[in-house]
Chain A
Amino acid sequence: MAFGIGGAVGTALSPLPWKLTDDLSIWTQNWPWTPVPPHGEVTQVDSVCTLCPGGCGISVRKVEDRVVKIEGMPGHPVNDGGICLLGASGAQLLYGPSRIEGPLKRVGRRGDGRWQPVSWKAAVAEVAGKLGVLRSGGEPHTLGCLLRSDRGTVPGLFSRLLTVFGSPNLMRMPSIQDTYELTLYQMQGALALPGFDVDNTDFLLSFGSGYIQGWGSPVHMFRAHSRWRNRGGRVVQVEPRLSISAAKADDWLAIKPGTEAALAMGLSHVIITESLYDRDFIENRCRGFESWVDAEGRIQPGFKQRVLNTYTPAKVSEITGIAAADVVRLARDFAKAARPLAICGRGRGRVPGDLGAFMAVHALNALCGSIQRAGGVWAVPEPDYINWFQPEMDKVAATGMQQSRLDGAGGPQYPLARYLTSYLAEIINAGKGYPLKALLVAGDNPAYTLPAGGNVRKALDSIPFIVSFSSFMDETTRMADLVLPNHIYLERLEDVPLAQGFSRPLVQLCKPVTAPQFNTRHSGDVVIDIARALGGSVATAFPWKSYADCLKETLGGNFQKLMRQVYMVGRGTGAPGHNAAFETASGKFEFTNPEFKIRPDYEPIEAEGDAASFPLVLVPYDSMRLASGFVADSPFMVKAVDDTVLKGRDILVEINPQTARKYGLADGAIALLRTPRGKARVKIYHFEGLMPGLVAMPTGLGHSAYDEYIGGKGVNFNRLIGPVQDPVSGLDAAWGIRAKLTRV
């Protein structure tokens, strides 16, 4: 006994247990599954990031053929070496577990996720067979195509396919580009993209735009923001929530949501009454500022008169909740700045917004002469390098193209809109128009990104044949019948025709930095294959041997140049200036387009739902750490998300503590959030920076597809909101939706 105790004590005092523990830990640390990354030759390859429309140049670090790190390209006009976190985690998308490894055909029920790998030949034959039936049945217009963008050669090939096939139903995903394009067209007569000369502005007035949350070209905006900090530029953010854009601004004006246009009109009021406007520009270069007599002899009120009659600071204060004195001060500061710039489009700019409001903001820029001038808004010409021969259309195609668009864009009700993609689901579900019998989806994930997600899924479910070109097993692809996976941007050659919001035309070339990881195929090639398999006049419209051939021919001499230097800044560098005529019929800037009678104004867009059953209002907020577009987050990004946004599987919604107390919602409590469109389990987060009466939810969470690193976390905001139509343009102008929070 004593011997035993003595032995134990002796052993304990000896170094033996410690030595054993140490050995054990060292031994377990040497278990062989901790990878040792292989060494090799290190190279840097320059290319373009296409994960958002920002158009940043990237420099990819490779070790042998492995992509190890993605960095910003130094000296690039958009991002000059900087990179956002989505761009920086591109290698995770390349090697991630949600990649699709080859063409797949659905077996079992839709959405069950049971797939059978097929060969590319069989897959193309299947598409051609299904589409061929539509053509031989004389209903080619029942083919739809959803694209993220309608610019560049790959969207161009899709568009061409639809034209020669005979369908007008090419749709682009909605964004503020839709509204800005209309604004530029209405007021400047320009078929152009909005460019913002943020590098040279000294006063940024942002009507809810998340100028450092992904609005425009994100990294470019970040750099501009830092430049303002260096040079003493001023920023004013108008928004009901203290976003990071509001926090970094010199002034934050908490405005009642949805009333931004009234403030813009009120600022114009002060600028006009105090004669602070750019007299030369207004008197010589504009029309519709003063009232005029129309052809029938009636007096039409000009912009000046409408503003003076309706939008006094007192009235504006009543509408917006911003003190009249603040309205006056802001107007003076804005007008007196050397190069002021007002921007709009809420958050990242996913929802198009109402045309009257955008025109009100554009009119404010015009008052200060900030149009086509250093530090102002520029109309950036559309990329013009695609000049393919006019394809021949057979009779079927010609008849099909005569059909009206299913989404109603350009129709009698909404003649201005080019695309009304946000309403497609409602139209399909209501059985209006004709049924879509086949749908091609490329470059986006509409089942996740379109509003009224429930409706979208229902609509997709009613389409008999869906083809997805996605590289990832996303929500839409899960509902597809056939998957024809594209290479991801690091594996493919493709032109990048623009950098969103950049003030100059910029054409870039995304090139393969590594060989395709899987049995994927370039969507450009697949479109050519499909066309060829369809035969007849469809095939003859696509004479190219391959997509690469097509691209080389399209870019001509610039191809080699772009292969070397990645980007080319187009003509029109430098401020366009006021000397050139506007492209309107009058050659002047139009405050009211006489043809369409569309003018800058504040028309309240109400949040959907009745206040009695839904006392609160749910608004979205965008964050750089959550990609809310067609690309989901990377595991690194999810890791970077704060625990005040996501905790476990629960999404946190922000609410002002004062409002929370009223409804008995403790910080961290679980609650049920209901809107007229859906309901979700949420966690309460008390945030003083949110206007009382609102609930704010981050966008970009709640993926039901993808892997466990990304999916099954939180709630997709798009499931809880539906589109609200701007009566003028028909575009989606929803800024929030009525909501109710109940404790569970």
Chain B
Amino acid sequence: MEAVNRRNRAKKYGMVIDLDKCTGCGSCTVACMAENNIPFRKDESDKLLSIAWLHVYKLTNGKPFPHTDVCYLPRPCMHCEGHHGHSPCVSVCPATATDYDEETGIVSQIYTRCFGCRYCMAACPYHVRLFNWWDPVWPDGMEKMLNPDVSVRMRGVVEKCSFCYHRHQRAMEKAYLEGRRELEEHEYQTACTQACPAGAITFGDLNNPKHAVYRLKKSPRAFRLLERLGTRPKVYYLSSREWVRQAGDNHLQQEKQKI
């Protein structure tokens, strides 16, 4: 009985991003940077070294003018469920610095445990993990804008999108104070969801039929990235364009149907 209750209580926080609405403006990226104390350097144009938890990719259909099409795809951490919480990164971390939380479905990153071996970066098929090659430096006075809810990362550790877990903690604390154990949908939203000027990002509990994501993930327009790998990502995308849905996974050229 206790086990059943536990399972019923378990959340599976996830995201649905409507690519038909996304304009690729990058507000999600910047809102994320401001929320999560992401540092910046003088030259950030080498994207392999640039730290952004949520990167907006530009996809093209590769057709010549005027049949060309482009689509932007914001990519946070997929918070892969894997099988029994064995997401690719969690499985390889020798330091237990990253963990799959069965209560929320969030893949955590504990900076003080991380010793920078970067196995997780190699294991992650989505390139969501980023390494701090340098200590973060803020120009004089700019450290004033740092958010006390999120620790600043030091050189030598890996970081990634946390689904703004600190917002979950704050919301839960408030709920406990009010004698509640459950959160309303609006009480826990990530910074990118909140900021998106197009309202393209929806966030919530994928297990909860009352949450918008529960319905949206079942849309015929829905797909996930690299589904064939069996990582069971918790970020869904919606697109009415067939080539965009196809671009979500690796396909052979003659292959028409998604598996």
CB of B42 within 8 A of CB of A95, answer no
Q: A643-B45, A643-B46 are in contact. Are A226 and B200 (CB under 8 A)?
A: yes
CB of B142 within 8 A of CB of A692, answer no
* Most chain B CB neighbours (cut-off 10 Å) among A38, A218, A247: A247
CB of B65 within 8 A of CB of A640, answer no
**Which residues of A lie under 8 Å from residue B199 when comparing CB positions?**
82, 223, 226
**Which residues of B lie under 8 Å from residue A219 when comparing CB positions?**
197
CB of B142 within 8 A of CB of A68, answer no
In the complex, A257→B139 CA distance in Å? 43
CB of A66 within 8 A of CB of B144, answer yes
**Which residues of A lie under 8 Å from residue B124 when comparing CB positions?**
none
Cβ of A67 < 8 Å from any Cβ of B?
A: yes
Query: What interface size band does chain A fall in?
Result: 35 or more
In the complex, A151→B106 CA distance in Å? 49
Cβ of B43 < 8 Å from any Cβ of A?
A: yes
* Most chain A CB neighbours (cut-off 10 Å) among B44, B64, B136: B44
CB of A222 within 8 A of CB of B23, answer yes
Cβ of A134 < 8 Å from any Cβ of B?
A: no
Cβ of A726 < 8 Å from any Cβ of B?
A: no
CB of A28 within 8 A of CB of B45, answer no
CB of A689 within 8 A of CB of B65, answer yes
The chain B residue with its CB closest to the CB of A22 is B115
Cβ of A229 < 8 Å from any Cβ of B?
A: yes
* Most chain B CB neighbours (cut-off 10 Å) among A40, A219, A225, A226: A226
What 1/0 flags go to A34-54 for Cβ under 8 Å of B?
A: 111111100000000000000
Cβ of A72 < 8 Å from any Cβ of B?
A: yes
Q: Tell me which of A643, A656, A708 contacts B65 (CB under 8 A).
A: A656
Q: How far is the CB of B220 from chain A (nearest CB, A)?
A: 15
Q: A71-B195, A82-B195 are in contact. Are A624 and B26 (CB under 8 A)?
A: yes
In the complex, A233→B40 CA distance in Å? 40
Cβ of A592 < 8 Å from any Cβ of B?
A: no
**Which residues of B lie under 8 Å from residue A63 when comparing CB positions?**
147-148
Stretch of B5-13, B76-84, B150-158, B175-183 at the chain-chain interface: B150-158
* Most chain A CB neighbours (cut-off 10 Å) among B62, B154, B194, B195: B195
Q: How far is the CB of A571 from chain B (nearest CB, A)?
A: 28
The chain A residue with its CB closest to the CB of B143 is A35
Q: How far is the CB of B106 from chain A (nearest CB, A)?
A: 21
Q: A219-B197, A636-B34, A642-B58 are in contact. Are A35 and B152 (CB under 8 A)?
A: yes
CB of A222 within 8 A of CB of B198, answer yes
**Which residues of A lie under 8 Å from residue B56 when comparing CB positions?**
640
Q: How far is the CB of A602 from chain B (nearest CB, A)?
A: 22
Q: How far is the CB of B129 from chain A (nearest CB, A)?
A: 18
Cβ of A389 < 8 Å from any Cβ of B?
A: no
Q: How far is the CB of A73 from chain B (nearest CB, A)?
A: 11
In the complex, A657→B68 CA distance in Å? 12
CB of A225 within 8 A of CB of B148, answer no
CB of A638 within 8 A of CB of B30, answer no
**Which residues of B lie under 8 Å from residue A647 when comparing CB positions?**
45
List 9 interface pairs A-B (beta carbons < 8 Å), by A numbering: A25-B115, A33-B137, A34-B154, A225-B23, A634-B30, A636-B30, A639-B52, A656-B65, A707-B139
Q: Which residues of B are interface residues toward A (Cβ below 8 A)?
A: 18, 20-21, 23-27, 29-31, 33-35, 37, 40, 42-47, 50, 52, 56, 58, 60, 62-66, 68-72, 115-116, 135-148, 151-157, 191, 194-200
Task: List the 3 closest pairs (A to B, CB-CB), nearest first.
Answer: A82-B197, A37-B146, A624-B25
